[in-house]
Amino acid sequence: MINIERLKQRFTMLAQIDSISKEEAGIAAKLEDILTQMGAEVFIDSAGEKIGGNCGNLIAKFKGNKAVSPIMLSGHMDTVEPGKGVKVLFKDGIFTSDGTTILGSDDKSALAIILEVMDIVNENALPCPPVEVVFTVCEEIGLKGAKNFDLSMIDSKIGYILDSTDTEGIVTKAPAANRFVIKVYGKDAHAGASPEKGINAILVASKAIAKLELGRIDHETTCNIGTIEGGKATNIVPDLVTIHGEARSHDEAKLKAITDHILNTFYSTAEELKKKLGSDSLPKIEIELEHDFPATNIPEDHVVVKLAKQAAKNLGKEMQCKTIGGGADSNIFFGKGIVTGVLGTGMTDVHTVRESVKLDDMVNTTLLLLEILKIHALGIMGITKTDSDKNGNCCCKNNSKAGDI
């Protein structure tokens, strides 16, 4: 039933269309053309205008042939760099780049799989629920497409995002995250002639950082200082240091606690040095805090998990629930009321020039999605439209009480 050659050629074609973050217009146009020819109703939202990109999120609606609740299938169109001029190689059933760029299987393997699924459904008149395809922009630079997605354009309350490696796992738990930018202000002076007249912002920042525990805090919580920028020359006492960092946790209370600890450490360190120096105003701390994305926590008895597990079982496989430390569009959709499990396509070594994906893994994920759609369309598990909506809404409301952002 799967047209393996079509899947192979379509992935190759998509991977070779440049689409780094904020420059997805070319691949969106190609996808719009393909989806329109399939009979879908296709839209582009206004997310691109809001984030300074040349394209918004692409939404394609298929009516389906069964009166059940709609289901969302999603992946992201953008890639990381080096992602221009990709040349796809295929050998022994494995896709790679030529080694000078990434491959882009993250996440173009998802795009190709979803297109193949809908082609197969149409060609074989398979049982199918209403399907709402959502291909997002700017996932790689902060989930910006999903954050600015116009939720009024779709009706789905459940769905699946293809953006992981494991083809026999469904991501049901992912952490919430905070990002912060800390600016440490000191006072400039000549480092050789009169250093005592200055206040070294790098020194202030380093004293604060030395008090922090970074990395893994516990099994649910991590934090990191990612970049430090400051100073103008070796003979000038630096008057400004800018620090970028993040904190993540599966527990909202822990996330707040570790974030507060980091920020308060910088404030208290500055206050200690003010007293020591007899200064009223410097050193000074300014902080920008962004709630980057909410946690995902899908119960194992949720319809999204049950569908995936039953589909895998029907194919002679076992689907395991997975907990990860990263974020994805699913975090944002979950926070907006759409419960989305993350499925794998087999992609490996993503974000590197060694990236690869096996065609067989893409075929297996295609089969899994087809089975999920069939089970949902036929109501084999007794899932009605009301059950699906209720299950989705209930889960998200519970998450909101835990500090959803």
Residues 102 and 242 in one domain: no
**What are 13-26's pLDDT values in tens digits?**
999 999 999 999 99
Rounded to the nearest integer, the mean pLDDT of the chain is: 93
The CATH number linked to 272 is 3.30.70.360
pLDDT bucket at 145, cuts 50 / 70 / 90: very high
Summarize pLDDT for 392-405 with one digit per residue, the tens: 433 333 332 222 22
Query: What is the CATH number for 358?
Result: 3.40.630.10
Looking at the structure of the chain, the number of domains it has is 2
User: What pLDDT was estimated at residue 397?
Assistant: 32
* pLDDT interval class at 1 (50, 70, 90): confident
Alpha helices in 143-242 (DSSP H): 144-147, 201-210
State the pLDDT at residue 400: 27
- One domain for residues 24 and 129: yes
56-65, 127-136, 309-318, 387-396: the lowest-pLDDT one: 387-396
Pairing type for strands 320-323 and 169-174 reads: parallel
Predicted TM-score (pTM) of this structure: 0.90
Nearest C-alpha neighbor of 14 from the set 100, 94, 91, 116: 116
Average pLDDT over residues 206-228: 97
Residues 152, 188: one domain? no
Last residue of a domain, one of 271, 293, 315: 293
300 is catalytic: no
**Residue 28 pLDDT level (bands cut at 50, 70, 90):** very high
C-alpha 19/C-alpha 84 separation (Å) is: 8
pLDDT tens-digit series, residues 182-211: 999 999 999 999 999 999 999 999 999 999
Q: Are residues 251 and 325 in the same domain?
A: no
What integer pLDDT is reported at residue 380 of this predicted model? 77
Same domain, 168 and 37: yes
Given 24, 106, 107, 139, the catalytic residue: 139
Which pLDDT value is given to residue 385?
45
Among the candidates 252, 276, 293, a domain finishes at 293
Same domain, 115 and 31: yes
Instruction: Provide the pLDDT for residue 185.
Output: 98
The answer on pLDDT for 384 being more than 60 is no
Q: Which residue has the higher pLDDT, 38 or 382?
A: 38
Mean of pLDDT values over 329-353: 97
Of 127-136, 190-199, 350-359, 376-385, minimum mean pLDDT range: 376-385
- For residues 300 and 389, state if they share a domain: yes
What's the whole-number mean pLDDT along residues 334-362?
97
Same domain, 150 and 269: no
The pLDDT value recorded for residue 341 is 98
Whole-number pLDDT of residue 382: 52
State mean pLDDT over 213-220.
97
- Looking at the fold, whether 239 and 289 belong to one and the same domain comes out as yes
Specify whether 25 is located in the same domain as 170: yes
Final residue before a domain boundary, out of 247, 265, 293: 293
Contact partners, residue 156, CB within 8 Å, separation at least 6: 69, 70, 71, 72, 132, 338
Domain ranges, residue 92: 4-175+295-401
> Which among 24, 32, 45, 78 is annotated as catalytic?
78
Per-residue tokens: 279:
């200064």
Cis-peptide, bond into residue 82, ω within 30° of zero: yes
Together in a domain, 397 and 317: yes
Distance, in Å, from the CA atom of 153 to the CA atom of 44, rounded to the nearest integer, reads 10
Whole-number pLDDT of residue 381 = 66
